[in-house]
Amino acid sequence: MATTIWIDGQYYDKANAKISVFDHGLLYGDGVFEGIRVYNRRIFRRDKHLDRLYASAKGAWLEIPLARNAMARLMEEAVAKSGFNDGYIRLIVTRGIGDLGLDPRKCPKASVICIVDEIALYPSDRYEKGLTAISAATPIHHRESVSPRIKSLNYLAHILAKVEGIAAGVDEVIMLDPAGFVAEASGENIFVVTNGIVKTPPVYSGILLGVTREAVLELAREATYAVEEVPLSRYDLYTADEVFLTGTAAEVIGMTKLDARTIGTGVPGPVTKELAKRFKALATRGD
């Protein structure tokens, strides 16, 4: 089992996997990406991730030089080559090599990178105890600026929020949108459970439309919970019975402290636990 890296038609080992200093992905964060899980050698919701990748590229006026089915084949091949049963795929499309100006027309061909590796986002005890968090002062991008729906290579706002969390000694951060509504965590979507109703911010609020978020919404409906996609304020988080986050890398994880307030009973609640269990089952089944 080994980290496997493909760049524009060729496999490289870690030491030799390099891109140009004139790549606009590096110079300007000009590009898009996906993070995707592999469970039991099967790519979880591959087509949903491809949908989002190609939509992100369209939103960023970026033409991906690989057809969708070729991209799907590449992922399958790289996973097989890696030998990982459970792993993580990072697909990256950069604007490619240009000059030192911004003009994307100077970049004749986008670059495609596919990395297969492993990932562990939080220490394993957090899945039992829950995460601590603060709400960050740094908001997500305005939806009419760089749309948060585009999974772009520019994560500086989320990194600055993460730095605030690190400085405060907590595990995660909750980011608000520019109007002050709850948006998402640094790399996860957010859910609350109040009086048995599972709630999450709506898509039009400008959040990244998480593949895990969608799967968990399906699972919650299947488990006959009432589900609402509604704007949430921090008050809704402070007073919720449960809060949990969803993401490809994080999967489903409870949040038990926010801005020094204990959420619910202070440990991950029954709905969080049930949905985490259902998600594990779904992921290992590979639907």
Q: Decide whether 46 or 213 has the Cβ nearer to ligand PMP.
A: 213
Choose the binding region for ligand PMP from 92-100, 166-174, 242-250, 254-262 (rule: CB under 6 A).
Answer: 242-250
Q: Decide whether 97 or 114 has the Cβ nearer to ligand PMP.
A: 114
Q: Which of 192, 275, 258 lies closest to 229, judged by CA? A: 192
Window 121-160: residues binding ligand PMP (CB under 6 A):
158
- Residues sharing a CB contact under 8 Å with residue 88, sequence separation 6 or more, in sequence order: 35, 36, 37, 38, 116, 117, 118, 119, 248, 249
Q: Counting beta carbons within 10 angstroms of the beta carbon of residue 16, is it exposed (0 to 12), middle (13 to 18) or buried (19 or more)?
A: exposed
- CB 149 within 8 Å of CB 59: yes
Torsion angle (degrees, nearest 10) of CA 29, 33, 39, 44: 150
Under the binding rule (CB under 6 A), the answer on residue 162 touching ligand PMP is no
| Least CB distance to ligand PMP at residue 251 (A) | 9
Q: Which of 97, 90, 94 lies closest to 20, judged by CA? A: 97
Q: Decide whether 95 or 151 has the Cβ nearer to ligand PMP.
A: 151
Q: Which of 4, 111, 212, 256 binds ligand PMP (CB under 6 A)?
A: 212
Choose the binding region for ligand PMP from 10-18, 166-174, 181-189, 193-201 (rule: CB under 6 A).
Answer: 181-189
Under the binding rule (CB under 6 A), the answer on residue 35 touching ligand PMP is yes
Under the binding rule (CB under 6 A), the answer on residue 211 touching ligand PMP is yes
Choose the binding region for ligand PMP from 17-25, 243-251, 253-261, 270-278 (rule: CB under 6 A).
Answer: 243-251
Binding site for ligand PMP (CB under 6 A): 35, 158, 184, 187-189, 208, 210-213, 246-248
